DNA sequence: TTTT
DNA sequence: TTTT
């Protein structure tokens, strides 16, 4: 069915990425990303409103996030919206929405890694192959296929 | 600050829009929108995964949604992600994510209004003026300014 | 360097795709796509303005376009802008801008193939792997690598 | 008709904006914007390919570009593709494609104005009201309506 | 003509 | 919890 689920964000990391390396070698990184807009309220006061997004990146992109992306930095992200369902401790159905990124570009080198990275690193343009995300028909033999398993905790 | 929060969706309405007319004459419409992707799982089976998005539209766009958009129809939506915080009955902090649409285009005439609408209606291209959403500096006198109040239930 | 070149179009094909199969088996399809907007001019008259885009699709996506996409149909396209330079017969530098699509979704079944395609075909969601478009590092041995050669006529 | 014509670019200005103030007080700014992608060619060499886009901004956004945007800077742009037709001196039909921006955000302060602008200026987030671009139904009396006239040179 |  |  004709369907599109696309998100484009430019914002700043609220924390360093948290990276987990799953069995099979697959990496997952997560970090909060702030976007903000400012507008005038009814009384004419300028107000800043910040939106927080839970970003998730997988595999190679997660490894890059782990190495080059830090709290405070500005990044461009392209991805899709994903809402996970879970039961809370009282058995209530809960929802948690995140952005699964398949492209990430570092826009500015700020935050806690000023000492280190090179211009080359800062400008890394990274795109998750959609082949890996969906069909995987062209994935070479020997490559772990259990990316983004449905039974992962989130 | 350099910030972008943009969502583009093509999907189908899960229900007819629910419209409320607020004091001041402002209309709000809400409806669930499904996007789906199909991929092969580890065993090579084709799997269809559906994502549900809570769409919110305001003012003129809400009135158009009320008139011309129905369950089952396919629409194109452009908007932004917004996560609302609230307390549940046990006092726990909860989050609810929705898509605030500022553009909506009807892609296909399906669902419950087969009898009625014309091609003109079906192809309505609707864009929320960003002037109204933010600065409102150019809004003519007499127009209600209490759009999208922060104290609304959601 | 932080760089993004992204185009999103929804429009109708002005002609059937023209497909060429290059040496090496690579397919290229081209077709014109119309987007239109309507607005009121200074005298209050409603005016419709149509924009024509030259769409190019490569490889598997070209083959799909050849099979399932026809004049008159409405499609969603995601891609990038590419401007080619060439000399005209008088030796003047000329520019030709096209949209290289890496994703294509059929939104409506119109045009010359009413008799044939199934719902499955009409709703084909097709995404060009960015791996193939750029690095090709994961391309399996034996696959032609000369996709999108720079010396192609356009 | 259901139609979308959307462009999203992040790139660097090749030159300072050229601004013209039309009769009626409407401003137009133009500048070239480079986006680049790097990929490996058939021989495994890393190649950088730069795409140049002709950006056009109108009215308030043009004035902002005039004040705050300079050669070398990185900007985010959202807009639409527009191809203008004209006759060259030999009477041949020619086409010129440009991006009409309705949103512009400065991502990095580089280039020729290092001495001057403030952080506030550098982070200007600017969005063209779509009301002004199309219907103008809500434009206050006394405002020049001849924005983006069709008879402009380009 | 930019940037890395 | 970021940034301006």
Chain D positions touching C34 (Cβ under 8 A) are 3
- Asked: is D7-107 a CATH 3.30.70.1450 domain? The reply is no
Chains near B with 3+ CB pairs less than 8 A apart are: A, C, D
**What pLDDT score does A134 carry?**
32
For B8, the closest of C8, C37, C38 (CB atoms) is C8
Domain map (residue ranges) of chain C: 7-107
| C32 min Cα distance to partner chain D (Å) | 13
Per-residue pLDDT for B55 more than 70?
yes
**What pLDDT score does D124 carry?**
53
Which among A51, A62, A61 is positioned nearest to A14, based on CA atoms? A51
Asked if B7 reaches chain C (Cβ–Cβ under 8 Å), the answer is no
Residue B38 near residue B80, CB atoms below 8 Å: no
Tokens of A146: 């259990």
Q: Within 10 A of D13 (CB to CB), how many other CB atoms are there?
A: 22
Cα C139 versus chain centre, distance: 23
Average pLDDT, chain C: 79
Lowest model confidence (mean pLDDT) among A104-118, C108-122, D7-21, D119-133? C108-122
Q: Which residues touch strand F (CB under 7 A)?
A: A 11-15, 32, 34, 36, 38, 48, 50, 52, 71-72, 74, 110-111; B 1, 3; D 119-120, 122-123
**Bridge-based pairing state of the strands C18-21 and C27-40:** antiparallel
**What pLDDT score does C34 carry?**
98
Best residue in D40, D125, D126, D127 for a mutation probing chain A (most A CBs within 10 Å) = D125
- Give percent of chain D above pLDDT 70: 71
Per-residue pLDDT for D27 more than 60?
yes
CB contact under 8 A, A10 and D125: no
**What pLDDT score does A136 carry?**
32
Annotate C48-81 with DSSP letters as a single string.
EEEEEEEEEEEHHHHHHHHHH--TT-EEEEEEEE
Question: What is the rounded distance in angstroms from the CA atom of residue C124 to the CA atom of residue C69?
Answer: 10
CB contact under 8 A, A40 and B135: yes
**What pLDDT score does D145 carry?**
31
Asked if B38 reaches chain C (Cβ–Cβ under 8 Å), the answer is yes
Q: Which long-range contacts (CB under 8 A, 24 or more apart) does D43-52 make?
A: D51/C5, D51/C80, D51/C81, D51/C82, D51/C83, D52/C83, D52/D14
Cα D150 versus chain centre, distance: 17
Report which DSSP code applies to B17.
P
| D79 min Cα distance to partner chain A (Å) | 14
**What pLDDT score does C88 carry?**
86
**What pLDDT score does B129 carry?**
60
Higher-scoring residue by pLDDT: A97, A147: A97
Q: Which 93-132 positions of D have CB less than 7 A from strand E?
A: 110-111
Reported as a single tens digit per residue, the pLDDT across A79-120 is: 999 999 999 888 889 999 999 999 999 997 544 344 433 333
Reported as a single tens digit per residue, the pLDDT across D84-114 is: 999 988 888 999 999 999 999 999 754 434 4
Per-residue pLDDT for C115 more than 60?
no
- Give percent of chain C above pLDDT 70: 71
Cα–Cα distances in angstroms (integers) from residue A24 to residues A27, A142, A144, C4, C47, in the given order? 9, 11, 6, 32, 59
Q: Within 10 A of B8 (CB to CB), how many other CB atoms are there?
A: 21
User: Which chain D residue shows the shortest CA-CA distance from B128?
Assistant: D130
Which among A88, A90, A94, A99 is positioned nearest to A10, based on CA atoms? A99
Across the C/D interface, how many CB contacts are shorter than 8 Å?
108
Per-residue pLDDT for B144 more than 50?
no
Higher-scoring residue by pLDDT: D5, A132: D5
- Give percent of chain A above pLDDT 90: 63
Which among C97, C39, C104, B125 is positioned nearest to D82, based on CA atoms? C97
pTM of the model: 0.81
- Mean pLDDT of all residues in B93-100: 95
Reported as a single tens digit per residue, the pLDDT across D51-64 is: 999 999 999 999 99
Let me know the angle formed at the C-alpha of C10 by A56 and A79, rounded to the nearest 5 degrees. Answer: 5
**Nucleic strand E under 7 Å from the C-beta of C125:** no
């Amino acid at each position: 069915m004709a369907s599109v689920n696309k998100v484009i964000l430019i914002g700043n990391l609220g924390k360093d990425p948290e990276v987990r390396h799953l069995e099979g070698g697959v990496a997952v990184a997560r970090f909060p990303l702030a976007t903000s807009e400012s507008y005038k309220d009814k009384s004419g006061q300028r107000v800043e409103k910040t939106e927080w997004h839970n970003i998730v990146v997988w595999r190679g992109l997660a490894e890059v996030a782990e190495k080059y992306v830090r709290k405070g930095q500005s990044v461009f992200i392209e991805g899709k919206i994903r809402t996970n369902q879970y039961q809370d401790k009282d058995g209530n159905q809960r929802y948690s929405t995140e952005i699964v990124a398949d492209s990430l570009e570092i826009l500015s080198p700020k935050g806690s890694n000023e000492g280190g990275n090179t211009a080359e690193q800062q400008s890394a343009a990274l795109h998750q192959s959609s082949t890996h995300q969906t069909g995987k028909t062209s994935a070479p033999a020997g490559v772990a296929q259990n990316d983004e398993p449905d039974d992962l905790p989130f």
